[in-house]
Amino acid sequence: MKFIAYFLLLSSLGLTAQETATGTVYADANGNGRRDRNEKGIAAVSVTNGERVVQTDASGNYSLPVGDDNIIAVVKPAGYAVPVDESNRPRYFYRHKPKGSPRSDYPGVPATGDLPASVDFGLLPADESEQFTALIFGDPQPYTLEEIEFFARGVVAEVEGIENIPFGLSLGDLVGNDLDLFQPYIDAVKRVGIPWYNVMGNHDMNFDAPRDELSDETFEAHFGPANYAFTYGKVHFIVLDDILYPDPRDSSGYWGGFREDQLNFVENDLRFVPEDHLIVLAFHVPLNEYGGETYRDADRQRLFDILKDFPHTLSLSAHTHIQRQDYFSPEEGFERDTPHHEYNVGTTSGDWYSGRLNEDGVPVSTMRDGTPKGYAFLHFDGNRYTTEYRVAGKPADYQIEIFNPEVVAHGRNTQAGIYVNFFMGRAGDEVLYRVDDGDWKAMEHVEEQDPTYEASVYEWDTTPELPAGRRGSNPIPSTHLWRGGIPVRLEPGEHTIEVRATDQFGKTHRGTSTYRLEKSVSR
């Protein structure tokens, strides 16, 4: 505590040491990790100290001011790759903490000593297509080594050795408060076999940090900066820590938002990004406020103001353990003709590893809105994108869950319905159904609890014997649920329901189910 108090005193007095970091960004043609005589510097590459952003000169040289707690990072340009370590973590940064991180319950960055004479970054020349796909994980969030194993067997094993995916990204809550699990998490994700970026979540923080700038010390020790950027093709990614901790309102808990230096970084970084690029922001807490003042309005507004001149934007978040699509228009403060889309991605932990165990002994873990646990793909073509959600353990075309009664009384009206949970859907999407090759009819979008998930949860409350696994969370209204009536005046017997749902990108998804009409039994 004395160390921390001394550090705070120096910072409050403006006495943190100021130096100038200099170095070169160069093309590491042979990939040996050091600059050889014939390897040339790369001009017009952005380098940052976490707030300021400068570009290299014609020889690839840069200079930046640094204090005693900075991470110098190169912003990877298109046409180059950054090296990765033995765990597939990208290495595009240099930590400058001469005295190391303050003492904490979990260790941070060891003392780095004096600033090197030259902080150089070698980039690997690469053929980058403007058509590519990124793999996205939401909230792995294991609280135990057993849950690390659930994550590894239930999700990682399914994408292990995946091909033609240049990188992956986890959207925070890499672990669940126990930061000693960072290394087991890293070991699990390593098996995917591709470079892997990480976002910091509210369960990845140093909770004993006296102020927000120090809440990411253990994260920095394992993953590097919590705020960084890189470009691939015509897509510019900006990764941000959007958790304010301790909450500046009452110094208790956390609040969604940004510090001024983070927003300065975004603004400074985008000065060097062409306006025709797609800007993809990745953070943990969604910008939308679900059930209260979960985000500092001024921070969201400044972010929107910075982005408004870019016609192509997308943000990615997780945190909620549901899945939804949100849109921000001038009514929500985004002053642009086309709304800003945020994809709040379903999680790899689902409903925190709850539910019955599947045949592999892994919790089914369906989320409270009826979205099965899984992961996402982002498909890019120039500055355009489409999203795809993949349910863990299911075929790629499993995009719809249909709920309906198995048997219905023939000729008798019923308040039961046909429900369709279209996992990637949103209000306004076209969802149609028909029975037995009849006419297609529009289904009604409703915000209700998903009956398939309701039934699975209430099974725990009605069974006389305790099942293996853990009861899931109570259901909540889903934003991607549709309802249709059940035709009861067809001939007795089995009837086939067909569903056709079209997503916001024009792709059609299908599903089928059946029900049986039986004549009522007289009393």
Print pLDDT tens along the chain (523 aa): 434 443 444 443 334 568 999 999 999 999 999 999 999 999 999 999 999 999 999 999 999 999 999 999 999 999 999 999 999 999 999 999 999 999 999 999 999 999 999 999 999 999 999 999 999 999 999 999 999 999 999 999 999 999 999 999 999 999 999 999 999 999 999 999 999 999 999 999 999 999 999 999 999 999 999 999 999 999 999 999 999 999 999 998 999 999 999 999 999 999 999 999 999 999 999 999 776 789 999 999 999 999 999 999 999 999 999 999 999 999 999 999 999 999 999 999 999 999 999 999 999 999 999 999 999 999 999 999 999 999 999 999 999 999 999 999 999 999 999 999 999 999 999 999 999 999 999 999 999 999 999 999 999 999 999 989 999 999 999 999 999 999 999 999 999 999 999 999 999 999 999 999 999 876 5
Domains: count for the chain: 2
DSSP 8-state class, residue 129:
-
18 within 8 A of 3, measured Cβ to Cβ: no
Question: Which residues lie across from 7 on neighbouring strands?
Answer: none
| 251 Rama sector, left if φ>0, alpha if ψ -120 to 50, beta otherwise | left
Of 71, 97, 123, which one is at a domain's C-terminal end?
123
Buried b / exposed e along 376-399 (16+ C-beta atoms within 10 A)? bbbebeebebebbbbbbbeeeebb
In a domain, 46, yes or no: yes
In a domain, 102, yes or no: yes
Question: Which residues lie across from 81 on neighbouring strands?
Answer: 124
In a domain, 422, yes or no: yes
In a domain, 10, yes or no: yes
CB atoms inside a 10 Å sphere around CB 359: 6
pLDDT for the residue numbered 128: 94
In a domain, 318, yes or no: no
Q: What is the CATH number of the domain that holds 50?
A: 2.60.40
Sheet holding 19-27, edge to edge: 61-66, 19-27, 121-125, 80-81
In a domain, 141, yes or no: no
Cα(228)–Cα(103) distance, integer angstroms: 25
Which residue range forms the structural domain that includes residue 424?
400-518
Residue 401: which of 376, 418, 416, 426 has the closest Cα?
418
Q: What is the CATH number of the domain that holds 479?
A: 2.60.40.10
Residue 263: which of 250, 278, 281 has the closest Cα?
281
Query: E strand or H helix at 389, and its extent?
Result: strand 384-391
In a domain, 456, yes or no: yes
Of 101, 123, 145, which one is at a domain's C-terminal end?
123
In a domain, 322, yes or no: no
Per-residue HEC secondary structure of 47-95 comes to EECCCCEEECCCCCEEEEEECCCEEEEECECCCEECCECCCCCECCEEE
98 within 8 A of 111, measured Cβ to Cβ: yes
Of 123, 143, 166, which one is at a domain's C-terminal end?
123
Per-residue HEC secondary structure of 192-240 comes to CCCCEEECCCCCCCCCCCCCHHHCCHHHHHHHCCCCEEEEECCEEEEEC
